[in-house]
Amino acid sequence: MRKLVVALTLLASPALATGLQIEVAGVANGTVTIDLFEDVAPQHVAQITALAADGAYNGVVFHRVIDGFMAQTGDVEFGKIDGGNMSMAGRGGSDLPDLRAEFSDKPFDRGIVGMARSQSPNSANSQFFIMFQEGYFLNGQYTVVGEVTGGMDVVDAIKRGEGQSGAVVGQPDVMADVTVTE
């Protein structure tokens, strides 16, 4: 009976990954290191790490970048630099199910990584964003999944989008390679 309890506990636990390493290419070039908060958003972290481990994020663009606010990426359905439908970037997700919100008291400070979603709080899937500066109006409205611990200068250099929507025109920066770190 004891072995069964241990096995069930391991199955219910989120991935033991501690972060992501993202190689960014384009206007910005370099490595961004993210510490993921398994204790704050275990289901979201498990989904992100599963997608990264499968290579789903490789070649995905930063499709929405608003100066002074955030850089958004992670549309594994439409946001691929090679073969994606770039006019649809930002409207897709993954084959995995949408997630229930895991709101926390972690504030949206500079470098915080949050999950993008549609109007429904329970619609986050694969897209995420990195804050250029604090955005406390997002607190309690979006799930915080991690924080940039290295390469914030690379994030700051990501090509900005245009207009109020921040849609990137022309050649966007891309997550060339995303790996899960232990």
Q: In a structure prediction context, what are the per-residue pLDDT tens digits for the chain, which is 182 residues long?
A: 333 333 333 334 444 558 999 999 999 999 999 999 999 999 999 999 999 999 999 999 999 999 999 999 999 999 888 765 677 887 889 999 999 999 999 999 999 999 999 999 999 999 999 999 999 999 999 999 999 999 999 999 999 999 888 999 889 999 999 999 98
The verdict on pTM exceeding 0.75 is yes
Q: Which domains does the chain have, with CATH numbers?
A: 2-181 (2.40.100.10)
Q: Which of 72, 141, 134, 137 is nearest to 103 (CA)?
A: 141
Which element (helix H / strand E) includes 52? helix 42-53
Which pLDDT value is given to residue 82? Answer: 77
**What tokens were used for 24?**
């960014």
Backbone φ, ψ for residue 104 (5° rounding):
-140, -175
* Distance in angstroms (rounded) separating the CA atoms of residues 73 and 35: 17
